Structure formats: C-alpha cells, structure tokens
Amino acid sequence: MIGMTKPSAAVPAVDLPDEAAYLETVAQARKAADAYYGSGESGLDDETYDRLLRGITAWEEEHPGQVASDSPSRQVGAGVTTGDVMHTVPMLSLGNVFSDEELAAWAASLERRLGGEAVAGWAVEPKLDGVALAARYREGRLVQLVTRGDGATGEDVSHAVGDITGLPATLNEPVTVEVRGEVLMTEAQFADANEQRTAHGATAFANRRNASSGSLRAKDRAYRVRQTFLAYAALTGPEHTDDAGLAALTHTQLVARLAGLGLGTTAGTPVATTACATLDQVVARVREIGVLRPELDFELDGAVIKADSPADQDRAGAGSRTPHWATAFKFPAAQKITVLRAVEWSVGRTGVIAPRAVLDPVDVAGTTITYATLHNPADIARRGLMLGDHVVVYRAGEVIPRVEGAVAGLRTGDEQPIAFPEVCPRCGAGIDRSQERWRCERGRVCGQVEAVRYAVARDALDVDGLGEKIVVQLVDKGLIEDFADLFTLTRDQLLTLDRMGEKSADNLMAAIEAAKTKPLNRVFCALGVLGTGRSMSLRIAAHFGSMQAVRDADAADLEQVDGIGGEKAPVIVAELADLAPLVDKLVAAGVNMIQPGFVPPASGGADPDAGTTAGTAGGELPLAGLTVVVTGSMTGPLAERSRTEMTELITSAGGRASSSVSARTHLVVAGENAGSKLDKARSLGIETITPEELAERLGGLLGGEN
C-alpha cells in the first residue's frame, strides 16, 4: 500500500541521476501519498509508487546529508493527514516479504531477536485491503473512531458510527478497549456506494479502497454508505486497563475473543486467523489464502504472519515504523491502472449485448490483461467512463478482469465519449433497452443460425448438405434451437423444408448420424467456446481426452494446455459452465465425447508429475513427444487425409504437428512431390518417412480416427 511500508524488493527502482531528479520524485511521491490519504485517490498504482520510493531511498542512502525534510521515506503513512486525535500507541505499518525465501529470512531475523530461540507459534491471516481504523469502546460503548493518519495522530471520524457493520454501538461485555482493524467495502457495499454517489451527481469511485476512505472521511453527506469492519488487533499493555483480559491471549485467541465481544473479524470466513506450528505450515496457509482470495467478499492484498504468543511479541518489540513480530506476505497486485482504448460490443448466446473494454496491455497479478468486462451500458454511463481514460483494472485470482472505474484526476481533456450501438451488433435487429442489460430484440434466436452454421462447418462437425438456407428454415420453424437438436430431427421433419426431396433428406440424415462419431476435438470446436478455434480445440481434446475431463478442469488445469494463458483460462471455464445444457443434450443424443488414441496418464507410476497434467499422452503413444512435419500429398492408407486431419492424427498419437522444418523437428512425413521441406529435413539430418510408414507406425489409431 502506498506509503505504508518500506519499498519492495520485487520492483525495480526508478533511477535518480541527480538531486533535481530526487527532489522532483519526492514531490511526485508526496503528491500521490497526500492524495491517497486525503481523497483516497492516488493516481498511482502501488507498484509505480513502490518504484518511486525505492529510487528515493536508494538516493538517500548515497546522499545522507541531502535528505529532503518531507521525504516520504521518513514517516509511517508518509506523514500526511494530520488530524486532531493522538494515538496512545502508534498505529504501525507492516514490513513486506514477497517470496518464501524472504519470509524465511525474516523469520530467522525474528528468532535472532528472540536470542536464538524458536518462535513459539505463528498466526496467519489475510492482509485486508481497506483503511486502518481505531475504534474506542468505553465500558462496552463505542465512543470514538480514529483513522490512522500519520500513525501518531489520526482524524476523528466518529460521524461514521452506525454506518459500519462489525462495529456495534455496544459490545457484549462492558469492557474498555481500543480495537484496531480495517474498514472495507464488500462488492455489494461498493455497488451501493457508487449508486448513491452517482444518484447525488458525483462521479463513481474508481475502486473499493478509494470508496472506503472517501466515504469514511466524508461528513454531512445527504446519504449514508455502509461499510464493513474486520478487527485484527486490540490495545493492551500498561497504559490500558485491559479489563477484557486481552494481554495474556495469543493473537489467535485474541481474534476469537474480539469476535465473541460482537466485533467483526475474519472468524467464520475461509481465511480466518489460523495458528501454525512451523514455518512450512505458515507457507502452506499463505498459499491457501491466495487460492481462496477470489471467492471472498472482501479484498485482500496478501497474508499477515504474526508471532502468536504475547511473550514473543513483547520480546521482539517494534521499530519506529513496523513491529518486528509481524510481517506481510504481499500477493501480486490485483489492481492496476491502464488506458481504456476502445469498447467492443459482443452478443452472447441469450442475445445479451455486452460491452468489453480494450486496454493498453498491463500486467495484473502476473497476467497480461488486454480485455476486461464493463458490465452493461448503464454501468458505463454511471461511471462516466470515456475512451482514453486511465482506468483501474481489477483481477483477483481466477475471475475475469473488470474495469472498476476511471481516475478522474488523470484526465487530459482529450478523452472521447463511448459510442453505444444503435442496433444489434450481430444481426442488425433492434435493441431491447428496457433493462440495464441490453438485449437483441430477437433474444436467443439472434445468433442461433450463425452458431449452428459454425458447428456444422468443415473444421467442426463437417456435416454435408446443411447450408445456410436449411439452417435458417430449421431455426425459423422452431425445429432446432441449437446444433444438438439436429441429432433428434426426424426424416419427416426434414421433408417439411422447402426444396427438400427424399434423397436429400436421407443424405442429410446420414451426414448428421456420421457427425455423432467425430472425435472430441471437432465436437468441442462445434461448441464455439470463446477463444477456442480449430487448433485450440484439438490441443484441449488431446490434453484432456474426454469432454468430462474438460468440464472437470478448473482454470489452473486449462492453463496446462499450450496456448492457454491466465486471461483465457477463466473465460473457457465460464463459457463451459454456460454451455453445460448444450453439452448435456449432446451426450444424451449419443454424440462421441472421447478423443481417439488418448492414453490417460499412468496412475501411481514412478513419475511423480504424471498425475498433475490430466492426460498428457503417456509413453505408449507412437509419436509421444515428437514434433512432426507433414509435406507433399498423402498416399496409401492416408491418401484422403486433409492437413487438418493429419494434424489431428499426429496429435492423437501424442505428437505435435508443425508446419515448418527446423532443428527442433523430429520427424518429417514426406508424401508425393515433397519439395523444399524434405530437402531441408535431409540437410539437417532429420528422420524422414513415407505416409505408408507413418500409417504403419500408427497402426490401430488409424481405424478409430474420424
């Protein structure tokens, strides 16, 4: 988080050649930090800020005599908002680690502070991504709310009492205690806050943290915004009465006790504070929190690791900015700022017309994002988005990235309004605008013809005799809604179509019947899953072997397939969920759902990795691991095969088909009139075989194919 921590080692520092550059960078960082602690909008993402801060610290280390008095490296929280309430005990920040190694080094340094003794036990919990807040209770009654401010002095925001879930007006026991924790917005609270704000003529908040900080500090608003408080600390020690008996508790017990008093905590969520005995357990729990992150109602940007016992905490003590007994394991930023270049409108299977943002590519949590969802037209209008805007893009784990809002402070005046479609972008029919989500007036029917045509095309199910005119009639007469319905059509139904004779009807019935036995890659391709054409479908089918295995795969499994990255995988998962009824219908109609030649990975074999990639072809396949190039015309048993079919054949035999010969090619299948590729293969000393020899090697695989 901006200004709260030492700059991270994970991002490169900006290079500051001289004092002028140093002072300029100090001013820039200070401006961002002021804005961050003021309005909550910084205009810089965490990583950019981190780079500035690292540059500043590096320069200061070399020029200790020239450190600017207002350098953001000096104070907790960059020392900006000085409110009017003193903190009795400073509200500290946390140090950061970014890897298992850094965590281990930090734990070792903690043990050195404990005189070489092992830490008695650890507590691991989420690093909540909101705004730090101290809530003072006197004899069980909530009397004051104070922001962190600069760590020493905070702002009184007691006007927010009553607006925050998790901070009850009275506790279950009449104790006097200062509770500390994070105020944040759940997704629903954020949506509500923006709705209220825009209804009152203000621009929407760019992200949840801005919304939290802005709403907390705003006095005298005409409307009230709900937020959530989650406690992670309470003041004990000599200057506090500790009538709740908190001082002797471990951190894990403390959180449970706070929950018992009626305060909001992470208790009851999947990421509740957990005690861990060893550092290995800590690492495992940190991973788990990272995995659970996308499912949560609140945002987190890491895990916090704390020495659990109060004795260890006391002995370790604290520096001026951070405690020595706790640190944050930061996850890659889930949120970045980039530029909105264009808005594309696509029409979904049900006719919903959905806007999609085209962005300047930006790395978010380890994935390059170029597209993000924009929800619906009303939402674009509410957020006041414009082309050319700097927008906050958000992606937590496996969800499809979304645009949260624009950073109004970065507008140049050159931004352009976003054009909304006048007619359905797919079929040109009118648009039903009666709801927030616009739909083509033709609803599901829009796109049905196109989807069926795609499914029966040559690269997919390859059904001869199903031209556009016939498909249009079948859809218009209500005989089919999707291509799965083709398999239950009767001959009599076909005969009701214009210009359909007995012979053509028989041929078409036979062609449809034949389509039932096509290999999985073609059936999968027919589904028209976004982002998967002919060759991607083949790779997916060869990797998983069966439709069931593809359906069971999560985004991480899909990322094992060559060419599927972090942006595409969750889209495919979502698409398949959407297509489940269609796939069920195909299964019921008896359509093949298996990839011929697929060999499941050996179970319990010697290779410890064998089970992890669901279905990487095992060693028994004739072309396993080989890159194969086919050139010239096929002859013998392979005579009729197209290049697409050859690719399918090679893939189902465990090989990888390639179109060009290089040093990485293992095998060249040279048919009649093979030309330069064969010459090149020979000059490189690559094994060459005839189509007949290939057929022989493939043996049994040939029969089941196509």
- Which 322-341 positions form the footprint of ligand IVH (CB under 6 A)? 323, 326, 328
Q: What's the closest the beta carbon of residue 131 comes to ligand IVH, in angstroms?
A: 7
- Backbone angles phi and psi of 577, in degrees to 5: -65, -40
Q: What's the closest the beta carbon of residue 405 comes to ligand IVH, in angstroms?
A: 22
> Which range of residues in 89-97, 377-385, 523-531, 615-623 is near ligand IVH by CB under 6 A?
89-97
Please tell me whether residue 94 binds ligand IVH under the rule CB under 6 A. Answer: yes
Distance CA 105, CA 10 (A): 15
Please tell me whether residue 127 binds ligand IVH under the rule CB under 6 A. Answer: yes
Please tell me whether residue 259 binds ligand IVH under the rule CB under 6 A. Answer: no
- Which 343-362 positions form the footprint of ligand IVH (CB under 6 A)? none
Q: How many CA atoms lie within 13 A of 569 on its CB side?
A: 19
Please tell me whether residue 232 binds ligand IVH under the rule CB under 6 A. Answer: yes
**Among residues 2, 4, 119, 343, which is the contact residue for ligand IVH, using CB under 6 A?**
4
**Active site (annotated) includes residue 127:** yes
**Among residues 2, 124, 132, 418, which is the contact residue for ligand IVH, using CB under 6 A?**
132
Q: Point out which residues pair with 630 in neighbouring strands.
A: 669
Mask of contacts with ligand IVH, 193-212, x by CB under 6 A? --------------------
Q: What angle do helix axes 534-544 and 643-652 make, rounded to 10 degrees?
A: 20
Of 43 and 323, nearer to ligand IVH (C-beta) is 323
User: Pick from 343, 302, 370: which is nearest to 565 by CA?
Assistant: 370
Please tell me whether residue 236 binds ligand IVH under the rule CB under 6 A. Answer: no
Of 132 and 463, nearer to ligand IVH (C-beta) is 132
Is the CB of residue 345 less than 8 Å from the CB of residue 421? Answer: yes
Q: What's the closest the beta carbon of residue 231 comes to ligand IVH, in angstroms?
A: 9
**Among residues 14, 68, 233, 470, which is the contact residue for ligand IVH, using CB under 6 A?**
233
Is the CB of residue 127 less than 8 Å from the CB of residue 56? Answer: no
CB atoms within 10 A of CB 317: 10
**Among residues 45, 102, 125, 178, which is the contact residue for ligand IVH, using CB under 6 A?**
125
Stated as kind and residue range, the H or E segment containing 581 is: helix 568-588
Q: Point out which residues pair with 440 in neighbouring strands.
A: 431
Q: What's the closest the beta carbon of residue 125 comes to ligand IVH, in angstroms?
A: 5
Stated as kind and residue range, the H or E segment containing 314 is: helix 310-316
CB atoms within 10 A of CB 501: 10
Of 91 and 449, nearer to ligand IVH (C-beta) is 91
Catalytic member of 31, 127, 568, 677: 127
**Among residues 16, 249, 304, 649, which is the contact residue for ligand IVH, using CB under 6 A?**
304
Burial 360-390 (b: 16+ CB within 10 A, else e): eebebbebebebbebbbbebbebbbbbbbbb
Q: What's the closest the beta carbon of residue 93 comes to ligand IVH, in angstroms?
A: 4
Please tell me whether residue 92 binds ligand IVH under the rule CB under 6 A. Answer: yes
Cα distances from 373 to residues 165, 379, 400, 575, in angstroms, run 30, 11, 7, 14
> Which range of residues in 207-215, 320-328, 526-534, 578-586 is near ligand IVH by CB under 6 A?
320-328
Of 181 and 397, nearer to ligand IVH (C-beta) is 181
> Which range of residues in 87-95, 459-467, 470-478, 593-601 is near ligand IVH by CB under 6 A?
87-95
Of 132 and 561, nearer to ligand IVH (C-beta) is 132
User: For ligand IVH, how many residues bind (rule: CB under 6 A)?
Assistant: 17
User: Pick from 102, 96, 76, 98: which is nearest to 87 by CA?
Assistant: 76
Q: What angle do helix axes 208-217 and 187-199 make, rounded to 10 degrees?
A: 60
CB closest to ligand IVH, residue no: 132
In this structure, the strands spanning 326-330 and 131-138 are unpaired
**Among residues 46, 178, 182, 557, which is the contact residue for ligand IVH, using CB under 6 A?**
182
Of 93 and 616, nearer to ligand IVH (C-beta) is 93
Of 186 and 367, nearer to ligand IVH (C-beta) is 186
Distance CA 583, CA 577 (A): 10
Of 157 and 694, nearer to ligand IVH (C-beta) is 157
Please tell me whether residue 124 binds ligand IVH under the rule CB under 6 A. Answer: no
Of 255 and 670, nearer to ligand IVH (C-beta) is 255
Residue ranges of E strands in 281-366: 300-307, 326-330, 335-347, 353-364
Distance CA 372, CA 395 (A): 9
Burial 209-242 (b: 16+ CB within 10 A, else e): bbbbbbbbbbeeeeeebbbbbbbbbbbbeeebeb
- Annotate 499-555 with three-state secondary structure: CCCHHHHHHHHHHHHHHCCCCHHHHHHHCCCCCCCHHHHHHHHHHHCEHHHHHHCCH
- Which 436-495 positions form the footprint of ligand IVH (CB under 6 A)? none
- Residues of this chain that interact with ligand IVH (CB under 6 A) are 1, 4-5, 92-94, 125, 127-128, 132, 182, 232-233, 304, 323, 326, 328
Residues with active-site annotation: 127
